[in-house]
Amino acid sequence: MSHAQQEKNPEIKCFLVDPPGSGLYNKVTRGVMYTKEEAEGKRLKNPFDTITEGIGINRITKNFAMVKLNGAFRGTDREAVEMARLLLTLLLASHFSYF
């Protein structure tokens, strides 16, 4: 999706928003897929209680490897829910403005 959007408009920027405990933020910002919570002897079975939790693997999947990102941010559950509501509101407003 990032490639298609940026091909249509090179001014578009794509960013990763990552929940606490995920290594993708560090992979994008520092090139290493590691978080302090994963240090040897520190890893808990369920270190975070979050609704935005990923699939729990610490490796780059093929689809993620193809993504063209301009950066990354950390995001909380609250921020994810608020952004989802905003995007849904904007989508519905644009859809119904045609009628």
Q: Tokens 């240090």 correspond to what residue?
A: 39
Top-confidence residue, 44 or 94: 94
pLDDT at residue 94 in the model: 84
pLDDT at residue 4 in the model: 86
* 87 φ/ψ angles, rounded to the nearest 5 degrees: -65, -40
C-alpha dihedral (75, 80, 82, 86), degrees to nearest 10:
110
Cβ atoms within 10 A of the Cβ of 29, count? 15
Chain-centroid distance, C-alpha 36: 19
When pLDDT is cut at 50, 70 and 90, the band that residue 88 belongs to is: very high
Top-confidence residue, 2 or 69: 69
E-strand ranges in the chain read: 15-18, 71-74
Single pTM value for the model: 0.67
pLDDT tens digits, 62-82 = 888 888 999 999 888 889 889
